[in-house]
Structure 1
Amino acid sequence: MRVLGVIPARLGSTRLPNKPLCLLAGEPLVTRVIERVREHGVVDELVVATESPMVAQVVEHAGIAAVLTADDHPSGTDRVAEVANLPAYKDYDVILNIQGDEPFLSRAAVRGALDRVAGGDEIGTAASPLTAEQAENPNQAKVVMDVAGRALYFSRAVIPHRRDRDTPADGLYWGHLGIYAYTREALARWVSCPVTMAEEAEKLEMLRALQNGLTIGVALVEEDPLPGVDTIDDLNRAEALWLATAR
């Protein structure tokens, strides 16, 4: 299957203004994400979707195509769909959405999401184990799966809830990772649906897909969760980690 990789990079983030251009170890965050995707070698073509000419200029300087999209998309997936529908990208079977604030996303997570789609799921994503303390962070989305590894619900709340605190937490909590693989048909169906009340309340776009009957397969990646960048504190943690693990 031919894979189109799209990095949605919105300049107008509310929690961290100008997020794609914030510096991570001396380079714009979006550039660091591009570097990581290139290292993984899992896409046939990579493009950045942004509403900002400034972001587009930075991306093109890094040698990647940028597409200027509408500035009123309700989610990154809607932005990705605008790009996937362009004539230049119509021949790709699978669209991979690599969120522009995930500079540490592993190859195992990306490959796992693609493998879920190759195995028959309409959408693939990934999750890694969380401690009970990590699960308390509302900036970290959690996911509960059925026995076949398909998502039942995503939430910023701690799910599942432990009624009895002596219930073991090991293996109970899974943190969603910022990656989606979609069949072209699933992506079109997702963005054709209106935003749901749960999506609006949680600010989690994948709830729209779930509530409209799309199957989301979750690849479980046994690795420590590494920070996405949603806040200035996240950026500071990411900076320290990047410098500590610089190759």
Structure 2
Amino acid sequence: MSLSSATPVRILGLIPARYASTRFPGKPLIDIHGKSMIQRVYEQASTSATLSEVAVATDDERIRAHVEGFGGKVIMTANTHQSGTDRCAEAARQLPGFDVVINIQGDEPYIDSRQIDLLGQCFSDPKTELATLVKIINSTEELHNVNSPKVILNTLSEALYFSRTPIPYLRDKEGDAWLSEHTFYKHIGVYGYRADILEAITKLPVSLLEKAESLEQLRWLENGYKIKVAVTDIETKAIDTPEDLKAVLKQNK
């Protein structure tokens, strides 16, 4: 499929949500100042000027009932998916007619719709296959945090590589001086996929680089797909554990 720059791009926002979680079971339904997390994500996404439609993709009846209860759209998917990307692909097949799918993290209750809009704008270029966001790293601690993937870009604002270690390595420079010598980027984990590309990447086997770094986007790069990158200065807090929830509740009183 090729997109014409003269034709408006129809973008579907999907929020993958599952009840089972090793670190925080039932996370989508936790209460955050009177609303569930999934409702807050849905409502934030719905304010995006870029999205034509928003839906939750889940395999759990409790989540389905809750989303329909607050008036949201929900798509039921299989319970065997290994990633949000795979779940989005199945949901997108049930909602045909969209040019682009944006995978919105279901654990960021205060996600800023400007991030979604920025990602959607990447697809105004009909050559864009995949897209994601990055943010400039401002602290040495963050630079060396293995839980915060880093990205290097080419001159076309496309991702060259993602790694849990700082990249590039600055030879002959002291580690605490790296930030003054080079601009480093961290990955903000929201993805956009052209609809046909989303279908194609879910058929790829797990790659060697993906196994090494435990980063699924490396599978796409290793198979020759291009990931467009937009730089944002916005970052919202994800809730992965009960401790994260306490911090978010305190921050957003």
TM-score, normalising length from structure 1?
0.88
After superposition, the C-alpha distances for 1:120-178 in whole angstroms (9 at most, x for unaligned) are: 22011111122222233333232221122111122333333444225341563322223
Q: 1:18 Cα deviation (Å)?
A: 2.0
Change (3 A) 1:92 1:234: same
Q: Does the C-alpha gap of structure 1 residues 135 and 19 become closer, same or farther in structure 2, counting only changes over 3 Å?
A: farther
Aligned to 2:136: 129
Q: Quote the Cα distance in structure 1 between the aligned partners of 2:249 and 2:47.
A: 19
Query: Which is worse superposed, 40-49 or 171-180?
Result: 171-180
The equivalent residue for 2:6 is none
Instruction: Give CA deviations for 1:59-99 in whole Å, capped at 9, x if unaligned.
Output: 1112111112111112100000001112xx21111111111
Cα separation, 1, equivalents of 2:203 and 2:178 = 41
Aligned to 1:95: 101
Is the 2:112–2:236 Cα contact (8 Å) retained in structure 1?
Answer: no
Q: Residues of 1 paired with 2:63 and 2:148: CA distance?
A: 25
Structure 1: gaps (5+ residues): none
**Cα separation, 1, equivalents of 2:237 and 2:169:** 23
Is the alpha carbon distance of 1:203 and 1:221 closer, same or farther for their aligned partners in structure 2, counting shifts above 3 Å? same
Aligned match of 1:69:
77
Is the 2:49–2:117 Cα contact (8 Å) retained in structure 1? no
Aligned equivalent of 2:251: 241
Distance in 1 separating the partners of 2:166 and 2:20: 28
Identity of aligned residues (%): 36
How far does residue 201 in structure 1 lie from its aligned partner after superposition? 4.2
2:57/2:74 contact within 8 Å kept: yes
Asked if the contact 1:132–1:173 (Cα under 8 Å) also holds between the matched residues in 2, the reply is: no
What secondary structure is seen at the aligned counterpart in 2 of 1:34? Answer: helix
After alignment, is 211-220 or 128-137 more displaced?
A: 128-137
Of 225-234 and 188-197, deviating more is 225-234
Distance in structure 1 (CA, Å) of the matches to 2:241 and 2:209:
23
1-side partners of 2:105 and 2:36: how far apart?
14
Q: Indicate the RMSD between aligned Cα atoms, in angstroms.
A: 2.0
Structure 2 alignment gaps of length 5 or more: 1-8
Equivalent AA in structure 2 for residue 110 of structure 1: I
State the alpha-carbon separation in 2 of the partners of residues 138 and 51 from structure 1. Answer: 30
Answer whether contact 2:153 2:159 (CA < 8 A) is retained: yes
Matches within 5 A, 1:102-121: 102-119=108-125, 120-121=127-128
Shift of 1:103: 2.5
1:169 maps onto 2:169 in alignment: no
**2:40 alignment counterpart:** 32
Given the alignment, which residue of 66, 72, 87 partners 1:58?
A: 66
Letter matched to residue 251 of structure 2: L
CA contact (8 A) 1:30 1:100 kept: yes
Q: TM-score, normalised by structure 2?
A: 0.86
SS in 2 for 1:128: strand
Distance 1:158 1:191 in 2: 28
